[in-house]
Structure 1
Amino acid sequence: MTITKGTSPPTRNTPVALARGMLTGGVIGASLAAFVVGCVIESVPLCVTGVGLPAVYGLLFFLAGVPRRAREAAIPPRTALAQIASLEAVGGEATSDVAVRFDVTVAPDDEVPAYRVQFTQHINLADLPDYRPGGVVVVQYPPDRLWRVRILKRPTPEWEERAAGARLDSAPGPAVVSEPSAGCAVGLVTLLALLLAAAAVILQFRADLVDKETSVQPPSSAEPSVSSTSSTTVVSSASGTVALGPGQSFLDKGELRRAVDSLTKGKSKGTGTGPDTGQALTVVVQERLLSVVFAPTGSQAPHFDPSSVPYERFPALVEEARSSLGVRSPQTWQITTDRLTGTLTIRVGVTGSEGAASLEANGKGEVVRRTPAR
């Protein structure tokens, strides 16, 4: 790519990017609408479709990118010296590795001129003193993607010797090399597809929604829905939802735990299944929407006690997903908790102009897998 100081990188308003944005928006809109409509009309298949559609799409998206990643992996990376202009820890203090954002000047040996770039890399706490402003390190990067710079923690003796005796000048100005952004057109297409897909799902089930609203009258002995200006709670035998008002978030301290308790209030905590056991198939959390699908009577599907989920860890998991997975401008996030794999799994997904990224945590809220944006 051509490096022009002081200018923004080119955008990717290509037909492929537009089509991918349209497909992504359609999947997001359809899955959210299907899940919400399924909760309202008490349709478990529709709820499962809303949860499973993004997972299937993510798998297909991953498989479709295998040939491209294979081609990229076949290109040997370039090795060069780089001078650290600045570094800042941005997360991961609870583990042995900490995410560090570097601002470096890379000095390639080929015809490419020196350039500045910012990137985030996990560094062991014990190795942090080895990295300081003004220090020279050995880096690698793909020749066709100059922004994917990574510091070599154990370079060859030859490069170690070169770095020890090198003196580099910092390139002037801010970092000028970064991954091309998706562009405004892709964002608009994604938003339009999201709205159209959600509207299509709602229109398809509008008759069921109207019938549910007009014909279902709860008995006087049933527990009434709780409504207020700050939140709305709807509980049935198959599902429960809590919607917060403007200015509120389920990442606020204690908000999510209180909402889950309000949905499971009055339900027993037995280990069996059925509408009154309080056992859940899935718990889905967004910024201001909580949805719980309860295990139906006689269901053999993997279920769990929603009160046993470590909700106190959710804000930290969302923050880590938004700051350390390559999505520099996160727009939406979603947390899905289930036992489809046999053990309790917490999946945190974030989307932004750079694409989608996710991480998985175990039943204790400890991160076990990260899938950065590509």
Structure 2
Amino acid sequence: MSTAPGAPPPTHHTPVRLARGFLTGAVAGASLAALVVGAIVESVPLFVTGLVLPLVYGALLFLAGAPRRAREAAVVPRTALAVIETLEAVGGEASDVPVRFGLTVVPDDGAAFRVEITQDINLVELPDYRPRGVLVVQYPPDRPWRVRIVKRPTPEWEDRAASARFDAVPGAGAARWAEPPEGRADGLVALLGLLLGAVAVVLLFRADLFGTDPPGRDESAKPPSAASPSDSSTLSTTVVSSASGTVALGPGQSFLDRGELERALDSFTGDGRKRRALMIVVQERLLTAVFLPSGTPAPGFAPGALPRDRLPALVEEATTTLGIHSPRTWRITADRLTGSLVVKVVVTGPEGVASLEADGRGEVVRRAPVR
């Protein structure tokens, strides 16, 4: 594809560019929100998702752009002479200094055009570049604004540059090339994607963040310890993989009911595998575990090591003694990231958020009443 200087810039696929900008903004917003929300609600899977999502998206963008890069690489660059109109060092204290050049490029088979570029020049070679000096440059014919100075030209072009004289080059009147700037719409679309991505994550986890219960639930006003016992385990759903495990109870059940927590934890090792957990999170009807990969040197703990007999009492203490008079939600988080096992109970209610921490035996070591 050949583009003559002075012609309009190549047409870009605006809808595709806008869609890519929106998706990039949405991924950035969702990733940042996942990191923040995951840290607040102490959800390791959500936090890890916030870290992994931009990496996966970046890899997909790289793969999607491979055909375009291959097409651009297949274009044979055009070689021409250029006259230095202006030059200015724009910073840097290393051996290579970025220099902004104002060049007038004079192709053999086209009209001269002006372009501004920034290129690193070695300090030793910097005196060789001076106004009205002649250089050898190369640029893609379909993107003439991407001019690069050829520091080691062939002998033929080196001789041409040494003998060329362009005293009458119409520098001020030549056509100017610059990379087409992104429109205002691109920034607005990316910002919209950023906001929507963040809002989507916050809405999905609003119950954990703000202590709101799902619509239609009638038991939220009474303490979780008052839930009626249930011996029915047929309404529970268990999903276990090598990386995580999830047990969800049906309506009317609670992990504070006698035997429910024991059955859920035993389901993680019922296949004979000795899994070690990085973190276990228990809510009234949902239990989630994140397992360590086999052979990982991280401490971790066996699911059966939880002080299961003490957990209902810890929840009872957190909901009655820390200033929460009408508890809405509670959450138990057990982890052993470093050192010994730590069990934390977080309770939310109209008054705010309160918590307590216990050791591996279930003995309370720290309390944080509502403020």
TM-score after normalising by structure 1: 0.53
Aligned-pair CA distance for 1:15: 1.5
Greater gyration radius: 2
Aligned-pair CA distance for 1:173: 6.0
Aligned-pair CA distance for 1:43: 2.1
Structure 2 equivalent of residue 104 of structure 1: 103
| Cα pair distance change 1:13/1:182, threshold 3 Å | farther
Aligned-pair CA distance for 1:11: 7.8
Structure 2 equivalent of residue 163 of structure 1: 161
The one-character-per-residue Cα deviations of 1:35-82 (angstroms, maximum 9, x if unpaired) are 111122222332222222222211211121111111111111000000
Please say if residues 101 and 117 of structure 2, whose CA atoms lie closer than 8 Å, have aligned partners that are also in contact: yes
- Partners of 1:9 and 1:177 in 2: CA distance: 9
Please say if residues 79 and 138 of structure 2, whose CA atoms lie closer than 8 Å, have aligned partners that are also in contact: yes
Q: Percent identity?
A: 65
Please say if residues 13 and 183 of structure 1, whose CA atoms lie closer than 8 Å, have aligned partners that are also in contact: no
Aligned-pair CA distance for 1:114: 0.8
Structure 2 equivalent of residue 136 of structure 1: 134
Q: Confirm whether residue 40 of structure 1 aligns to residue 40 of structure 2.
A: yes
The one-character-per-residue Cα deviations of 1:340-363 (angstroms, maximum 9, x if unpaired) are xxxxxxxxxxxxxxxxxxxxxxxx
Please say if residues 112 and 175 of structure 2, whose CA atoms lie closer than 8 Å, have aligned partners that are also in contact: no
Please say if residues 12 and 181 of structure 1, whose CA atoms lie closer than 8 Å, have aligned partners that are also in contact: no
- Partners of 1:2 and 1:42 in 2: CA distance: 59
| SS of match in other structure, 2:180 | coil
Aligned-pair CA distance for 1:33: 1.1
Structure 1 equivalent of residue 192 of structure 2: 192
- Partners of 1:153 and 1:4 in 2: CA distance: 27
Structure 2 equivalent of residue 81 of structure 1: 81
Aligned-pair CA distance for 1:22: 1.2
- Partners of 1:101 and 1:92 in 2: CA distance: 12
Structure 1 equivalent of residue 273 of structure 2: none
Which letter maps to 1:73? A
Structure 1 equivalent of residue 57 of structure 2: 57
Which blocks of at least 5 consecutive residues in structure 2 are unaligned? 213-278, 280-297, 301-334, 339-371
Which letter maps to 2:165? R
Please say if residues 5 and 112 of structure 2, whose CA atoms lie closer than 8 Å, have aligned partners that are also in contact: no
Structure 2 equivalent of residue 114 of structure 1: 112
Please say if residues 25 and 190 of structure 1, whose CA atoms lie closer than 8 Å, have aligned partners that are also in contact: yes
Please say if residues 84 and 101 of structure 2, whose CA atoms lie closer than 8 Å, have aligned partners that are also in contact: yes
Please say if residues 99 and 122 of structure 1, whose CA atoms lie closer than 8 Å, have aligned partners that are also in contact: yes
| SS of match in other structure, 1:21 | helix
- Partners of 1:194 and 1:41 in 2: CA distance: 21
Task: Within 5 Å, give how 1:324-343 maps onto structure 2.
Answer: none
TM-score after normalising by structure 2: 0.54
Please say if residues 112 and 174 of structure 2, whose CA atoms lie closer than 8 Å, have aligned partners that are also in contact: no
- Partners of 1:201 and 1:183 in 2: CA distance: 28
The alignment of Structure 1 onto Structure 2 pairs a total of residues equal to 217
| SS of match in other structure, 1:176 | strand
CA RMSD of aligned residues (A): 2.8
The one-character-per-residue Cα deviations of 1:309-331 (angstroms, maximum 9, x if unpaired) are xxxxxxxxxxxxxxxxxxxxxxx
Structure 2 equivalent of residue 20 of structure 1: 20
Aligned-pair CA distance for 1:125: 1.3
| Cα pair distance change 1:190/1:173, threshold 3 Å | farther
Please say if residues 83 and 170 of structure 1, whose CA atoms lie closer than 8 Å, have aligned partners that are also in contact: no
Task: Within 5 Å, give how 1:304-343 maps onto structure 2.
Answer: none
| Cα pair distance change 1:39/1:82, threshold 3 Å | same
| Cα pair distance change 1:190/1:79, threshold 3 Å | same
Which letter maps to 2:336? T
Please say if residues 98 and 125 of structure 1, whose CA atoms lie closer than 8 Å, have aligned partners that are also in contact: yes
Aligned-pair CA distance for 1:103: 1.1
| SS of match in other structure, 1:67 | helix
- Partners of 1:38 and 1:175 in 2: CA distance: 54
The one-character-per-residue Cα deviations of 1:285-344 (angstroms, maximum 9, x if unpaired) are xxxxxxxxxxx7347xxxxxxxxxxxxxxxxxxxxxxxxxxxxxxxxxxxxxxxxxxxxx
| Cα pair distance change 1:56/1:170, threshold 3 Å | farther
| SS of match in other structure, 2:79 | strand
Structure 1 equivalent of residue 306 of structure 2: none
Structure 2 equivalent of residue 297 of structure 1: 336
| Cα pair distance change 1:2/1:163, threshold 3 Å | closer
- Partners of 1:10 and 1:79 in 2: CA distance: 20
| Cα pair distance change 1:11/1:39, threshold 3 Å | farther
| SS of match in other structure, 1:143 | coil
